[in-house]
Structure 1
């Protein structure tokens, strides 16, 4: 038998890290409540406020608000002034917690781990059997949280940075082309492009019926429904229309047969058309991927992305951290001979592919 000597200092350090992560789980519930109750917004517009003033402003019960605000101050999400007993948001905190138009607005993202917890029994079964979990079989908060998490980042970068980084695409969009948005979800990317390029026509495809309905509502609300269409269809079964641009926004790695999907896209593009692939940012090797962002993506992959890919046939399960080398390999195999990374963010790789 061998005995293991425990380093007490290392043990205590790891316990503190685990407790810190546990606290983040508690914090997420508080952030969601603060957003949905308008507590952050009130502090952004009227702060600093005492807990009593914040409760009156938001029509909430003061005793609950008092503990909520204390939790936020302890977490560094609010600034507490002890003499006046007031709570406030810094300008930076307000961008993350109160400004719904900010590219770094995060409260809705906590819907995703909430959905993951709600689906724990399904995940246990999937892990033990190797079966998949389809996107539509998850708690509804998953779709809403995912769409809201990515929406503002797309708004900040898609038309101003990512599309201009593609060779000749903006000029083509301004002239007028047909665009496919595959795995469209709630349609935020389609709407953004349709708003920016009124001469082009946009077609969104998704296999999840509730998301397609939500995309149509979002297009109507934005006033672009006359130049957008949305259809419930698999990613390898939409009509071949001769597209000038085909887009996949954080969707390809969820699909059960990404190679077949990309081959269909290659057939559906015009001869000089472009494929825009936006995927989660990842290095090619696990040892280069040990970051907080990758931690989040690997966890999401195990319960959401990989699970749906397996439910969708599981021909090739990329997962949420495929990396540029693997993605390039699949694009090449599908018939795209020219592939390059044109931009990246802490969260995404932006890849251009041409035949």
Structure 2
């Protein structure tokens, strides 16, 4: 970089950039620590007690004290654990419990670290994809991806799907209460399907996904929830699943992963019942790149680079939307498929909840 003149460097901007890069690097290290704390039960052990010494926590979690001590200090340095210098003890605040220890909290985050772990593991595949333009199918990724995605979305869906998102759609809750037929396309591990089935016992639910292992996992999730009599799962593509007359067709954070989203929407138009609705949940995004500058957008663009776009390309790549498609592009997909009504029902910092009707 000899051509760069030192007198052209803004030192304040340089210092700010270096500080940001170091913060990001620190966060990457911290993610490993969060994952370890979750897998070893360290956060849970702390949540069930007040201030603890390193020996007390090590005993509660059945871990070696010297490792626990270093792990705790990394948590203190990162602001994830409170340290009491006088007593030499460590404690989780109620807020930290919600984010790090309570697996039912909508803010619980440790599982999400499995996604970047899988991205690192698949780095060679991403490098090859960049150089060749070829795709990487969903099923060809490191196994941590599937658990990470399911864990990340499960609690958000649990907190909002039934109580907020479905009621935002026109007349859908009433139809579900009366007894409806629902298709969950790209259902993954079936968390969304099962949540709806538990909330609306008069309705029938069918989940479809092209990934066999996810379908098998979804069947187990339904069985554990006791809803298998009203919920079925099958391996099927988004433009060829069986059945018709669906009162509600759902796409939860998956349409942008498909190689031909117009074909998926067109098939939904044929499979939907009269006056039926499509519920489209997509990662939150504005329509312009310059309006998508935030930590959430950065996370979504990064995942989209190695996961979403890579799968869409492997799936034919007729239209590679990416995880930051935005409402206008998504509306265009459904207009091409023959839908005449498309609206934003609501939004969250992480999702757009959209409704389409013929």
TM-score, normalized by the shorter chain, greater than 0.5? yes
Q: Which of residues 110, 114, 118 in structure 1 aligns to 2:113?
A: 110
Q: Which of residues 132, 146, 156 in structure 2 aligns to 1:153?
A: 156
Cα deviation, 1:162-187, whole Å, max 9, x if unaligned, reads 11111111111111111000000000
**What TM-score comes out, normalization by structure 2 length?**
0.98
1:46 is paired with a residue whose SS is coil
* Count of residue pairs the alignment pairs up: 355
Cα deviation, 1:118-162, whole Å, max 9, x if unaligned, reads 000000000011100000000000011000000000000000001
Q: 2-side partners of 1:78 and 1:41: how far apart?
A: 13
Over the aligned positions, Cα root-mean-square deviation in angstroms equals: 0.9
Q: 2-side partners of 1:190 and 1:98: how far apart?
A: 25
Q: 1-side partners of 2:309 and 2:51: how far apart?
A: 45
> Shift of residue 8 of structure 1?
2.2
Preserved CA contact (<8 Å) 2:210 2:237: yes
* Counterparts of residues 25-36 of structure 1 (less than 5 Å): 25-36=28-39
Residue equivalent to 2:291: 288
Q: Which runs of 4+ in 1 moved over 6 A?
A: none
> Shift of residue 329 of structure 1?
1.0
> Within the alignment, does 1:210 sit opposite 2:213 as a pair?
yes
Cα deviation, 1:270-329, whole Å, max 9, x if unaligned, reads 111000000000000000000000000000000000000000000100000000111111
Q: 2-side partners of 1:218 and 1:156: how far apart?
A: 18
> Shift of residue 7 of structure 1?
2.0
1:225 is paired with a residue whose SS is coil
Residue equivalent to 1:332: 335
Q: Which of residues 270, 294, 313 in structure 1 aligns to 2:273?
A: 270
> Within the alignment, does 1:45 sit opposite 2:63 as a pair?
no
Question: For structure 1, which runs of at least 5 residues remain unmatched after alignment?
Answer: none
Q: 1-side partners of 2:4 and 2:52: how far apart?
A: 59
Change (3 A) 1:2 1:62: closer
Residue equivalent to 1:86: 89
Residue equivalent to 1:354: 357
Cα deviation, 1:25-76, whole Å, max 9, x if unaligned, reads 0000000000111110111111311111100111100000000000000000
1:15 is paired with a residue whose SS is helix
Q: 2-side partners of 1:186 and 1:240: how far apart?
A: 21
Q: 1-side partners of 2:334 and 2:54: how far apart?
A: 55
1:226 is paired with a residue whose SS is coil
Residue equivalent to 2:167: 164
Q: Which of residues 297, 303, 306 in structure 2 aligns to 1:303?
A: 306
